Amino acid sequence: MSPKDVKYHGKSQQPSGFESNQVPTNEHVTAINQMFTEFQLAYHNQFHKAFSDDQKIIMAKQLWVKTLCDFSPERVLSGTRRAIKESEYLPTLHTIRKFCDPKPEDLGLPDAYNAYIEACRAATPKINQTWSHPAVYLAGKASDWFFLANHTEAKAFPVFKRNYEIYCQRVTNGEQLDMPVMKAIPENISKPLTNEERKERLKILREELDI
């Protein structure tokens, strides 16, 4: 192990040199050490210009492991390799977080335009169709199916795109999106419904059928 590697000290299992409410694991520290080794090899001159001595490397690793420990160690290393492939410049701490975020396609999410086309072409009832991802259906519903069907792409797509990006961000943050469950309608009604009850049931049915 290089003398510049970040190590744990004591029972706290926290890199020395800073305090944090988030405590990185040994695996996070290993990932950051590996990240800096790969960056040194890939961006040799830029790396040594940014981190000109051992003390700066140690301090940088302590900051990076603290800032990136909300990602899994696997995601940190994946972001490292992605940065090396896609950027000719040594990433900053801000940009490496973007590289650590999974790409939408990695999560089964189509791009915004294809999601929009899927939503517009889906038959009714929308809830019964097979969707590439629940985010597409939920974004369509949030955008209002009637609005999507009755406005030009120039006007409808930006609305859909905004809603879709919100759901995509939730998925990227690790949230599991599920399709809503369509409620069954009772076969027999024991007593006649009032006008208000009929209106309420019709409203619920319209919402469930997305019409």
pLDDT of 11 > 70? The answer is: no
Q: Work out the percent of the chain whose per-residue pLDDT is above 70.
A: 79
Give the pLDDT confidence of 171-194 residue by residue, as tens digits: 887 788 998 876 655 555 556 667
Beta strands at 14-15 and 8-9: parallel, antiparallel or unpaired: antiparallel
How large is the average pLDDT for residues 90-105? 89
User: Would the pTM count as exceeding 0.75?
Assistant: no
Give the pLDDT confidence of 55-95 residue by residue, as tens digits: 999 999 999 999 999 888 998 999 999 999 999 999 999 99
How far apart, in Å, are the Cα atoms of 86 and each of 4, 83, 110? Answer: 27, 5, 21
For the four alpha carbons of 152, 158, 161 and 162, in that order, the dihedral sign comes to negative
Cα distance between the two ends of the chain: 63
Q: Check: CB of residue 33 under 8 Å from CB of residue 68.
A: no
If one compares 119 and 208, the residue with the highest pLDDT of the two is 119
Tokens of 176: 């599991």
**C-beta atoms surrounding 119 within 10 Å:** 25
Residue ranges covered by each domain of the chain: 8-101, 107-180
If one compares 150 and 196, the residue with the highest pLDDT of the two is 150
Distance CA 76, CA 36 (A): 11
pLDDT of 107 > 80? The answer is: yes
